[in-house]
Copies of this chain bind each other. A is one copy, B any other.
Amino acid sequence: MPGLRRIGRVATNPPNTPLYRRLARQLQERIDAGAYPAGARLPSEPELSAEFGVNRLTVRQAVAELERAAVVEIRRGVGTFVRPPAVRVSITVDPRSQRFDLGSVHAALPGADDRGDDDRGDDRGGDDRGDGEFVVGAPPVAGSAEDEEAARQLGRPVAELSRVDTVIRLGGRARAACSYWVPFGPLPAELVRPGRPGNLVLDLARAAGVELEYDWRAFGAIGADLADAELLGVPAGTPLLVREGVSCTPDGAPALYVRRRIDGSSARFVLHFREPRPDAPQPFVP
């Protein structure tokens, strides 16, 4: 209780800042100040509850905010730990090239989290199922919002579309959930057999007997819905990077709508606008 009175004095606090938010800020301040360094365990919930004189549920609300903000990681039965700065795969892209990132999501994971930018490395932590893309299933194309969007993008009624969902696994974890729509069907049963490995973009192009090139791609951010949350093994609402777009045949006919949801803490896409610089110029100073 006495410790919390002080929190209320923080100038940026609105008048009725709830207790759990003040607590969250206090914990954040301790982390920023190094009182709980990266990797350290926070006091347990009962300990924090006793220290601040608040109910354990209030403590949990505060810690939950920090977890959603990716400040701490909660490990059930073990404790709550300060997260080290995020290390994400950088998927490099030449924005002037037609070939964008085919297969680039299969890039290696960060090995030891080095300081520099080298995303080189060992495949730490691979498990039973290997890395790669695996079919989850071929759900019926009903009237869901995504199905409607796909129909709009492909210029065909929903009833004429086929869909296949996959998951991309890297380093023993599901990293991306993918959905593909094509303006024909049905797809070969073997192609959409759950568990089947493959590169679905290539597989679908082969099934159709055409070459595909990019029409457009878009980036957005959404929270994981209940289905994606289960597929990716993350809590609902986890920030996902959405990369969607249309590929077309060489003559410009739309042939594929793809929508990938990638765990935001795992990857980012980098677009280079200049040729690589071998000499690394000094930073500009006026």
Which A residues have a C-beta under 8 Å from some C-beta of B?
12, 21, 24-25, 28, 32, 65, 68-71, 85-86, 88, 90, 95-96, 98, 100, 115, 144-145, 148, 152, 154-156, 183-184, 207-210, 213-226, 229-230, 235-242, 248-249, 251-255, 262, 264-265, 267-274, 277, 280-286
Known pairs A183-B285, A219-B241, A222-B239; A252 contacts B277 (CB<8 A)? yes
A280 to chain B, nearest CB (A): 7
Q: Among the interface residues A95, A219, A271, which one has the most CB atoms of the partner chain B within 10 A?
A: A219
The answer to whether B183 touches A226 (Cβ under 8 A) is: no
The answer to whether A253 touches B284 (Cβ under 8 A) is: yes
The answer to whether A210 touches B252 (Cβ under 8 A) is: no
Copies of this chain in the oligomer:
2
Known pairs A214-B274, A241-B219; A154 contacts B226 (CB<8 A)? no
Residue on B with the closest CB to A265? B222
The answer to whether A252 touches B273 (Cβ under 8 A) is: no
